[in-house]
Chains A and B, each alone.
Chain A
Amino acid sequence: MKLTLTSTANETPTIRTLTFRDASGGALPGYAAGAHVTFDLGVLGTRSYSLVGWHGDASAPEAYTFGIQCEAGGQGGSKAMHALSVGDEVEATAPKNDFALNTAAPALLIAGGIGITPLITMAGQLKSEGRAFQIHYTARSRPIAAFLDRLNDSFGDSFHAHFDDEAMFDLARVIAGRSDGAHLYVCGPRGMIEAARETAEAAGMAPDEIHFELFATPTRREGDTAFEVEINTGQVFTIPPDKTIIEVLEAEGLDLTYDCQRGDCGICRTTVISGVPDHRDVVLSADEKMGGHVMQICVGRARSERLVLDISPRQDRRTAPATPRQAAPAAPALPAQITRATMGRYTGNPQAVRALFNGGQVHRDVYIDREIFDLEMKHLWSNTWIFVGHDSQTPNKGDYITTQVGNQPVIMVRHTDGEVYVLYNRCPHKGTKIAIDREGNTGKFFRCPYHAWSFKTDGCLLAIPLRRGYDGTTLDDTPNGQGLTPVGAVKNYRGFVFARLAPEGIGFEDFFGGSLSSFDNMVDRSPEGRLQVAGPPLRYINNCNWKMLVENQTDTCHPMVAHESSAGTAVRLYEEMGNPEPRPPAMEIIAPFMSPYEFMEGMGIRTWPNGHGHTGVNMSIHSDYSAIPGYFEAMSKTYGADGAKAILDENRHNTVYFPSIMIKGPIQQLRNFIPLGPDKTLIESWIYRLVGAPNELLARTAMYNRMINASTSMVGHDDAEMYERAQEGLHTQGLDWVDLNRLYSGAETYDEERVENGTTERQMRNQFDAWVKFMTVSMEPAAPVEAAQ
């Protein structure tokens, strides 16, 4: 039937009384207390409101009156009702009653907030019939409670109001004080109904003495019917009245992405190819709802018999672009005056940067100068390939780790396509780090904890709550509207994941070249050709520049000096014990650090272009480890005896992958150098299991890690002492240059692979050659006028 709005009255700032008469002037159907009318609000769906009658008998009402609260966070139904003007016509059903009064028993009526409306009608009827009742009305505060005066006037001593900001409502006492045989009627929010039901049952009331009506917009509604959903494969599913689209499709094995399941997060937004959706969410804008081309399938249903939805059996679909995102374009150059204001000696001055390395010596500014450090992060650590993590740290879809590339916080995550992505760890909204734990599983998407912006695990923006608030704004035209920004490039080399921050630059293979043979040897040492991370890394802080650590990896003239206190003492203790066999583990791990200069010279050093190099070409301090039973046999099975021998005869000591890591192939250890400042470096020391090899190998690796690299390591203590003393010493003004001249011929070039005497400092020079190259490759020279000054 059609109803015409004939009058309105504001009861409180948010509650309005609406009175309707029959549009054609005819008689309205009668109703009993507790009844409601359902309005058809078009694309917003239907809404039901309780009839309010103060005088009892409503068998032949002249009008229908409703008390409607405008729900600010609602789905738009109450707002649409409030927007009606006197004279407007709306489609509505005849009254229906799911909340009827028992015909004889006394009544205890309890209302929460706007849930008072059906109870007014009940109280009116009970009063007119002279039956016993009490009506309790609870609200957050007096000013927002509608109908207070009229309730007092109408029901006198039977009426009791309770306000949360004045005194606690004692539900148990009210229920305990009910009349004998009274039935309980409760209308209000879900929490209140649940509490009242529990209390009533605890007080011994029978289920058929307890009546309630939920005052909320149910996503499942009376009158819902089954409909069909067809997806991209042509499969058709029937959605029964009591199930959502997501529930049915998931039960059929489809992989869907969703979160709130109440229509307010926006994540399950789905394209509608054909059919008419019945929107029940609060996320889509009015235009989107009217357009009918998208819907939220967690709550939405159909107004047509079938919906054809853009859903593939796998996840990659929806509103996100089909191809992986490109890194955001570089920010536009700063205006000239700002550039000048922030520019020191080296910014925009590649000539001055080049002058810091003269072949045999390097200027102390590279270790202590803040401006140089900032330029390193901006240029060197952005233009080169930096270690991120091992893919066994994120074996399953949604697994992620947080770490840094240079000084940039990033997330490494396994996407639904099985690939590992590296994303800047920063919400494009306010900058909040999206993930903060060092590892975890995020499911199918990241959700920012601040405002619930959500992102697929390849970074693409998935949803923003109240997305319509950005309609017509510039958000979509900016990188912020695209999602989490990916790094410039990612490469997974045999399980080791590297990133280049810069969108353009040298390729992975060009950058590392022949040095990848050290990774190959480390991974080939697994009979299955596969490594697996073993436990958390050692993490330690050295108060020194990151380059001191990197240089020390191929410094073969320090162990017998700096480590005499540990390695030398070990050798002496062992001799005092009479050289017993088997050797204590410390003798195998620590004692080789006392190897003499001749041994170090014979080890050899190999360098590759772009700053990479390794010690231990011919043999190394890792050569004399005892054989582990069963290992060679397992290796021979995979590679043949000759192949296995060739792999195991390589005993490379330390391989530097400039600038960020060092690996030890023979013991499957990786040290990650994370620069925190010119004088502060975080080191992570990781170990890996050789998949398919005996556990004894991993036990030795774990032992090496703790004996040499822990913050508690006797060997590490002296290294840290040297770095930190050097960091302090380099602040002296007496001398500007650090010497790297050992075995320098004066005519070196670094664009070819070379093997030299094991005590050369060529690898350190090689690193600074690469340092200059990647510091200056993207550095724009300043304006000619300034360069001339």
Chain B
Amino acid sequence: MSATPDQIIDFLYAEARMLDEALYADWLDLWLPDGHYWMPLDFKQTDPHLVTSFLYEDFFMLKLRIERLNGARTFSQKPKSRCLHVLNRPFIDDADDAAGRYKTVTAMHYLETRLDDQMLLGVTATHDLAVVDGAIRIANKRVDLLNCDAAFPNIQLLP
């Protein structure tokens, strides 16, 4: 089970669009159940466990995050935030067609806005993708912030 470069790149653009359009249920369906969404705190961090990260979310946490965004008493989302991912063309760094496993690196601008505030983050997303039953899925995703060592306000959606 393999995927062509065009299929992989289309997948990454489609994933970003789901987040921008708040199609969270569709987005969650892209994930393999044992995957982790990791946003390290430190520049070039290697360990998600024994030092702090921004996010190291398993499927339960991701589901909780998405449910919360839709909740009636989610005060920090009254009004709701909106986001926009502006992608560079992804690099396919590793491709194992036989196993259907791919690693991609995508640089992007991430914008998030709510009320009068808008934030712009430089982001590098590294995806581990797997082709399962003919469909591309997210096995793991790592999102590095260019200014990871800065002091941030709330970042409420998913870069």
Contact = CB atoms under 8 A, between A and B. Distances in A.
A573 interface: yes
A710 B153 contact: no
A121 interface: no
Contacts of A140: none
Contact of B52 (A438, A536, A573): A536
B58 interface: yes
A707 B41 CA distance: 13
A712 B54 contact: yes
A702 B51 contact: yes
Interface string A675-717: 0000000100101010000010011001101110011101011
A706 B56 contact: yes
A74 interface: no
Nearest to A700: B49
A535 B75 contact: no
A539 B73 CA distance: 26
A720 interface: yes
B152 A702 contact: no
Given A565-B71, A718-B75, A721-B76, A711 B155 contact: yes
A714 B65 contact: yes
B76 A720 contact: yes
Interface in B39-75: 39, 41-42, 49-56, 58, 60-61, 63-65, 67-68, 71, 73-75
Contacts of A717: 76-77, 154, 156
Interface string B67-108: 110010111110000000000000000000000000000000
A383 to B, nearest CB: 27
Nearest to A583: B60
Interface residues of B, number: 33
A70 interface: no
Contacts of B156: 712, 717
A161 interface: no
A720 B41 CA distance: 19
B79 to A, nearest CB: 11
A565 B50 contact: no
Contacts of A537: 52
A562 interface: yes
Q: For chain A, what secondary structure do more than half of its interface residues adopt (helix, strand, loop), or is it mixed?
A: helix
Q: How large is the interface on A (under 10, 10 to 19, 20 to 34, 35 or more residues)?
A: 35 or more
B111 to A, nearest CB: 16
Nearest to B149: A536
Contacts of B76: 565, 717-718, 720-721
B151 A584 contact: no
Given A541-B153, A717-B154, A717-B156, A564 B73 contact: yes
Contact of A573 (B54, B58, B64): B64
A574 B61 CA distance: 11
A714 B54 contact: no
Given A536-B41, A573-B64, A706 B75 contact: no
A706 B55 contact: yes
B83 to A, nearest CB: 13
A712 B39 contact: yes
A210 interface: no
Given A573-B63, A714-B65, A543 B153 contact: yes
A699 B154 contact: no
Nearest to B67: A569
A721 B41 contact: no
B112 to A, nearest CB: 11
Given A538-B41, A569-B67, A702 B153 contact: no
Interface string A511-551: 00000000000000000000000111111111100000000
A674 B151 CA distance: 12
B151 A570 contact: no
A581 B135 CA distance: 31
Contacts of B150: 539
Interface string A260-289: 000000000000000000000000000000
Interface in B128-159: 149-156
A535 B154 contact: no
Interface of B: 39, 41-42, 49-56, 58, 60-61, 63-65, 67-68, 71, 73-77, 149-156
Rank and list the top 4 A-B pairs by shortest CB-CB distance, nearest first: A535-B51, A711-B152, A565-B74, A721-B76
16 contacts: A534-B50, A535-B41, A535-B51, A539-B149, A540-B151, A562-B75, A565-B74, A566-B64, A703-B56, A706-B54, A710-B41, A710-B55, A716-B154, A717-B156, A718-B75, A721-B154
